[in-house]
Structure 1
Amino acid sequence: MALAPGLVATLYRAACLAELDALKPGNVHAFAPGHRMEVADFVASADASAPALAQAGAGVGARVRGGVAATMRTVGQNTNLGILLLCAPLAVAAERGTGPGDVLARLDKADSAGIFAAIRLANPGGLGDSVRHDVAGAAPDSLLEAMREAAPRDRIARAYVTDLSDIRTIGLPALEAARAAGLDAVWCTTAVHLAYLRGVPDSHVARKHGRDMAETVRREAETVVAGLDLATRPTRELLAFDRSLKDRHINPGTSADFTVATLFWDALAAAGANLDPDARTRRATP
């Protein structure tokens, strides 16, 4: 079943806002601001980027570039590059009535140019330089080749060459388990975020603070979560972890990006999009 662009835009915006409502240690959320950003910046970003993300007939690259450009015009800073990179293949898949793996397998030179342009516009911190496929240079003919090279150090790049495997193996199972445990929607979102935070080192933390710190944060999250029952709504404990991360200027932004994408995938599937993870043979994990 193919979904109408207007519905895709509505579900994308709803996923962005739902992520902001949840307590996500280290990120900006309704319980606490952080990193010189407020919830209002992300709400405005969702509103601004939704039309481009759901643009009828557009490819992945055009949607990401359009969403980033609209966001930069509106809030003047990068708030959603990672979100758009993860959500654009889902939006295209939902509109075409196919799976995201098929969309990713068909990325072309135009998609590569659009995404490299979006990255330059957003200018995310901690990218460093790459011997090949540096975003300051010309976009490569094969976006997947560039993503495959970056995959060992970046979970979003890895998502492009593994058919969004982290969403399928971490995010969606965590969301299902949280619902089965009777958690309300807000705490289900927190559960998804914590699953990413404790499951894999956060790429944004690694870029800004190094891989050792990313692994330290992962272990800290694992320790915090081990002693919590989210059914009790442990706001005090999670806010203490939130303050600890923000006091160290640590923002696990990749975990937040994957949380939005997980909610978006779930909403699209509930609306009838065919995003069955078993619909095609998976490419090997790099």
Structure 2
Amino acid sequence: MLSRRQIEEAYRSACEAEIDALKPGNVHRFADGHRMTIHDFLESARVTAPIVADPIQSPGERILQAVAATRETVRTNTNLGILLLCVPLASAAEGNAANLRGSVGKILTSLDLEDTRAIYQAIRLTSPGGLGSAGEHDVREEPKTGILEAMALAADRDLIARQYTNGYADIFETGVPALEAAVHAGETGMWPTIFAYLAFLSLFEDSHILRKHGQPAAAEVRREAAAILRDLSSEDPEARMEKLLAFDQSLKARGLNPGTSADLTVATCFASELRKMSRAAS
């Protein structure tokens, strides 16, 4: 069991680690993009951290309140995906942080109609590209079933929805291992976060790109990321930076933002930090 202060600290640390890392195609400390700045993301993390870690509120209510606080502060959608992924992790860490994966699975199955209603309202506030109507599960209407059923309908095309249906398997089987393998290999600073990000981008077609630009564009970015990832481990830091910056500029010139991969990276950093805190406390 972790305290509210610890969870809030871990969440802000994860958000800051993600924005500090040179993640091609995203907003990061080395370059803005997509009409957003690092200030937007850092402010979003600051105002949402106390809400994400609030043990009094239900997960759905935390997501809704955090989205509302973000809209009030930065006037844009910087973090819906981050909140959808991180709030269940925060709730899980309040219980059995030592078995975070098992605990988050229990949180997901406990989400009720009130949570679903709040999450639908949060999605309506952000109006993300491509979301809204999904047949019988339309976020513009009153929910008829729980959030897991709604997420199951989107899981084949949305990686965040997929985490709700597979118990965060991609976080714990792709992101966290990539992050921790980089640390064990001696990578420091932003590099473990970059390796986690590229693991997602090279293995999966990014959902945000898929929604906005279609499958061929998402598949091409995945192939490009896989080639970058293969090269990184054998290059010196200066060559790495040049390659990542060139890929970053190429993606932004094409208007391609791998936003879902970034959201998964924040959740990976958050899960890793929560587990580290739990081990330190035991």
Category of TM-score, reference length = shorter chain:
over 0.9
Retained in 2: the 8 A contact 1:97–1:273?
no
Q: Which amino acid aligns with 1:258?
A: L
Please state how far the C-alpha of 1:231 moved relative to its aligned partner: 6.4
Please state how far the C-alpha of 1:96 moved relative to its aligned partner: 2.2
Please state how far the C-alpha of 1:227 moved relative to its aligned partner: 2.2
Mapped pair 1:256 → 2:262: yes
Alignment equivalent of 1:197, drawn from 201, 206, 218: 201
- Which residue in the other structure is 1:145 paired with? 149
Q: Specify which structure has the higher proportion of helix.
A: 2
Retained in 2: the 8 A contact 1:109–1:143?
yes
- Which residue in the other structure is 1:183 paired with? 187
Please state how far the C-alpha of 1:273 moved relative to its aligned partner: 7.3
Mapped pair 1:246 → 2:246: no
Equivalent position SS for 1:8: helix
Please state how far the C-alpha of 1:237 moved relative to its aligned partner: 0.5
Retained in 1: the 8 A contact 2:132–2:140?
no
Measured on the aligned residues, the alpha-carbon RMSD in Å equals 1.5
C-alpha distance in 2 between matches for 1:248 and 1:68: 28
Please state how far the C-alpha of 1:230 moved relative to its aligned partner: 6.8
Retained in 2: the 8 A contact 1:3–1:273?
no
Q: How does 1:89-128 map to 2 (within 5 A)?
A: 89-97=88-96, 99-127=103-131
Mapped pair 1:169 → 2:168: no
Name structure 2 gaps, 5 residues minimum: 98-102
C-alpha distance in 1 between matches for 2:133 and 2:119: 17
Q: 1:112 to 1:155 in 2, by over 3 A?
A: same
- Which residue in the other structure is 1:280 paired with? none
C-alpha distance in 2 between matches for 1:165 and 1:231: 30
Alignment equivalent of 1:207, drawn from 211, 216, 220: 211
- Which residue in the other structure is 1:283 paired with? none
Describe the superposition over 1:157-180 as per-residue Cα deviations: whole angstroms up to 9, x where unpaired. Answer: 010010001101110110121012
Percent identical among aligned pairs is 49
Equivalent position SS for 1:24: coil
Q: How does 1:1-286 map to 2 (within 5 A)?
A: 2-97=1-96, 99-127=103-131, 129-229=133-233, 232-233=236-237, 234-272=240-278
C-alpha distance in 2 between matches for 1:20 and 1:158: 24
Q: Which amino acid aligns with 2:206?
A: D
TM-score when normalising by structure 1: 0.92
Moved more, 45-54 or 136-145: 136-145
Moved more, 245-254 or 47-56: 47-56
Retained in 1: the 8 A contact 2:132–2:139?
no
Moved more, 87-96 or 51-60: 51-60
Equivalent position SS for 2:77: coil
Equivalent position SS for 2:117: helix
Please state how far the C-alpha of 1:114 moved relative to its aligned partner: 1.1
